[in-house]
Amino acid sequence: MEDIQGLTENVLSNGDVYFGSFKDSLPHGKGKYTWFEGTIYEGDWKDGKMTGKGKIMWPSGATYEGDISGGYLHGFGTFHYSDGSIYNGAWRMNIHHGIGRKLYANLDIYDGSWKEGIPEGCGRYFWSSGNSYIGNWKGGQMCGKGIMKWVNGDHFIGFWLNGLRHGSGVYYFADGAYYFGSWSRGLKDGKGTFYPAGSKPPSMEKWHNFLGYDIDGKGFVSRTLSLNLEKEKAPRHGLKHSLSEKISVTGISSAGGLSNWPTSMDVNWGSSYPTQEASADDDSCVMSHASDQGQNNVPYNDRVVYEREYIQGVLIQERVKDYEELLHKSMEQKKTTVKEAARVSCVNFFENHRSYYLMLNLQLGIRYTVGKITPVPMREVRASDFGKRARIVMYFPRKGSQFTPPHYSIDFHWKDYCPMVFRNLREMFKLNAAEYMMSLCGDNGLRELSSPGKSGSIFYLSQDDRFVIKTLKKSELKVLLKMLPKYYDHVKAHENTLITKFFGLHRITINGRSKVRFVVMGNMFCTELRIHRRYDLKGSTLGRYTHGDKSKDGITLKDLDLSYEFHMDKLLRQSLFKQISLDCMFLESLHIIDYSLLLGVHFRAPEKLKALLEPPATVQNSENLLHDDGESSESEPTIPPKGLILVTHEPSSVTTAPGPHIRGRPLKTDTFGDREVDVLLPGTARFRVQLGVNMPAQASHKLREAQSGSAEVELFEVYDVVLYMGIIDILQEYNVKKKLEHAYKSLRFDPLSISVVEPHLYGTRFKNFLEKVFHDLP
C-alpha cells in the first residue's frame, strides 16, 4: 500500500487496483478502480460504493459518463456502446428509465420516454430512411395515438397496437387523397370512406385536435415531455446488489474486488430496435392507393366519394356517393346532435359538465364501497343481504370528512345496494377486486357513450372496455332489486347463462333531492376480435328497422336489418338453445318482457381471398417484422383461405384476455365427439369456445329485393364468423298498462306482436324467431 499526496493505492490479491481516498478503510471521495480484466471506473465514492459523478470504461470500448448511485447507473448519463450506438438520458438501476434519446448504430433515433429499458410513453422515432413516428409507445412498440409519416409523403393519423395500425384513423396520401376508416392488426377492417385527390374531407381538423398536433407532428412531444434531462435528480436510497456492493465493510475485499459485472454491460445493453415488430398495410410507402383504385370501375373525381367496408384487408362492399350528398348528411347529423343535446335527460340537475361530475362521484363511491366490502370474510349470501337494510350509505363533502377524502366534484350522498350480493357475483365471475376498481376508477377515467335507445340514459364505458355503466329509471331499479334474489340463484346454478351480468347497483344524490341510479354490467363485446355487426333482436317486425344511415360503424341494427342466417355445429346449437330456454323460463317466472338478444358478429376474410388478392407480390404481410427503415417486406397474404379452424381444446394454448366475464367450460362439438374445442383464427389468435362467446359459425347472406337496385354491392355470399351474444333489457316488468299498449299496437300494426301481451308468449315468440336465425350446419 502506498500513500501519495493523501491518496492511497490498494492492490488486491486478484489483481484489481484502487487508487484514491479512504474513510474508515472504505473508498470515499475521489478514486479510480481498475478491474483485472481492464474495466475502469473513475469518479466519486461514498462509504465504499460508487456514488456521485463518474466514468466507466469497458475493454470492449463502451463507456458511461454521468450519475451513479450505490454502484448503479442511476440518474442522468451518456452511454456509448461498442457498436456505435449512443444513449443520452435518464437511468434507473442500470436501465434506461425516464426521458432519453438513443442514436442506434444504423442511425435510427428514438427520442422520448423509456420504462425498464424499452420505449414506453410518449416519444418520437426517426428511421434513417426518412420515415418517422410521433406518438405513444408501450413495451417498445407503437401503441396508442400516433402519427406515422413515410418519406414518400403519405401519413397515417390514428391508433396503434403492438406496432400495427389498430382502431380508427385517417390515411393521407401524398397526392391529396384520404381514407377515413378503421384497422385491425395492421389491416383495414370495418367501414370507412375514401376521398379521392381534389376533394376536401369534412373532419380532418378533428383528427389533428384529437391527437394534439398537426400533420407534421409539431407540438406533441414538446407539450408532454420535458427534454431538459440535466435537471433530473437521482434518488440516493434503497439500492442493492450494485457494482460496488462486494467491498468489505472493513475495507476492499481481498477475495475478488468488485466483481466482473461491468464486463457484460455492453453485451446486455446492445442496440435493439424497438420498432422491429411494427408493420404497415397496403397504404405504406411501398404501395400507394392505386391498388384501391383498381377495385372499382368508377373513375375518380372530386365530386364522388367511396363508402367501403373491409374484412381483414379484403374489400367486401363499396358504395359510390356524391360528395355534396355526404357533406349535406354530415351537416344534418351535426344539427341532430345539437337538438338531442338540448333534450332533458334523467340527470338534468347539472347545468354544466353534469356527466363529468357524475363520473367523478361514481368513481369515488365505487372505490369507497369496494374498499370497504373486500376485507369482509367471504361467506354465502343471506336473506338479509337482499333487504332494505343491506345498504352502504355515505356522504362525500367536497372538503372531505373523517371517512372520505377531499375531491374536486360537488357534495353528494352515496348509496350502494346489496354490497355483499354483488361482491359474491363478482367472485363468481372471477373478477379481482383490485382489477375491478382499477378498471372503473383508474386515472384514465370513464368514457361516455351516446345512448343507443330512447330512454335518455347515460352510458359509460370503463377504460379497458370490460364494463358498461348505465343510468337507471327508478322503476328499473325497483325491478332489479325485486328480482335480485332469484337472479343470484339463477346465475349460481347456470354458469353459462346469457343474461346480462350485473356487478354493482348504486345511487348518487345531489343537494338532497336529485337522484341518479347506476348499474354496472359486463360488456359482452370486450374481445380481441373486431365486432363488424351488432344486432338487437326481439323477434318482432313492429318498429324493428334501423332508420337513417346504417353504414355508420358501430351502429346497432334490428330484426328487419338482419340479412344473414347463421349455421352452427349441431351440438353448439343445441347447447345454445338449451340455455336460451332456461333463461327465458327464468324471465317469464319474473313477468319480465321486452328483452332481446344482443348479437355481435365478427367476420373472417372470405375463402376467395387469394383469388381476389392478385398479384400476391403486391400484398403486405402484416405479421412480418419491419426492416430497419420501417418498411414492410413483401410476401404472400397472411390470411389463409380458411377463415377459422376448430381444434381440440388445449388450456395452455388459448388466449386468456379479460373477455366478457364468463365462467363456463369450453363447449363440445359434433365434429369432435365428446372433446372440448378451441377456435383457431389464423393470423389472429386461438380462443376457447364458450357459450355466447367465440362461437364459430357460417353466415349466409341473403340479398333482399329492396336492395336489388342499390349501389351497394355485397361481394361474398358466405363468411366464416365468430358470434357473441347475450340477453339484455331484462328490467322491463310486465304490467296491465303495458299489456294494453302492446295489444293496441299489435292489432293495428303488427299481427306478430300480439304475443307480447303475455310474458310466456313473448318468450315463445322470441325463441321461435331465433330458431329461424340459427341453423345446424348441413
pLDDT at 278: 40
Pairing mode, strands 774-776 and 564-568: parallel
pLDDT at 701: 77
- Which of the pair, 507 or 15, is modelled with greater confidence? 507
Assigned C-alpha cell, 80: 456509448
- Which of the pair, 667 or 210, is modelled with greater confidence? 667
Give per-residue pLDDT as tens, 34-77: 988 889 999 998 888 889 999 999 999 999 999 999 889 999 99
Confidence of residue 737 (pLDDT cuts 50, 70, 90): low
Per-residue b/e over 559-595, b at no fewer than 16 CB within 10 Å?
bebbebebbbbebbbebbeebbebbbebbbebebbbb
Single-letter residue type at 739: K
pTM of the complete model: 0.72
Least confident of 91-105, 585-599, 634-648: 634-648
pLDDT at 511: 78
| pLDDT higher than threshold 60 for residue 224 | no
Give per-residue pLDDT as tens, 386-407: 998 899 999 999 898 888 888 8
Give per-residue pLDDT as tens, 317-366: 888 876 555 555 555 554 444 344 333 333 333 334 567 788 889 999 99
Query: Residue 706: helix, strand or coil by DSSP?
Result: helix
pLDDT at 3: 45
Computed from CA positions of residues 480, 481, 486, 487, in that sequence, does the dihedral angle turn out positive or negative? positive
Confidence of residue 665 (pLDDT cuts 50, 70, 90): confident
| pLDDT higher than threshold 80 for residue 190 | yes
Residues in the chain: 778
Give per-residue pLDDT as tens, 400-459: 888 888 888 889 999 999 999 999 999 998 888 988 998 898 877 788 876 555 567 788
Query: Residue 398: helix, strand or coil by DSSP?
Result: coil
pLDDT at 644: 87
Least confident of 156-165, 340-349, 379-388, 500-509: 340-349
| pLDDT higher than threshold 90 for residue 302 | no
Give per-residue pLDDT as tens, 100-137: 999 999 999 999 999 999 999 999 999 999 999 999 99
CB 30 within 8 A of CB 43: yes
- Which of the pair, 740 or 650, is modelled with greater confidence? 650
Angle, vertex CA 736, rays to CA 730 and CA 741, nearest 5: 85
pLDDT at 74: 92
Residues 6+ apart with CB under 8 A from 108: 125, 126, 127, 128, 273, 275, 628
Q: Of 236, 502, 193, 501, nearest to 325 (Cα)? A: 193
pLDDT at 273: 55
Confidence of residue 714 (pLDDT cuts 50, 70, 90): low
pLDDT at 758: 72
Q: What is the DSSP string of 568-602?
A: E-HHHHHHHHHHHHHHHHHHHHTTB-S-EEEEEEE
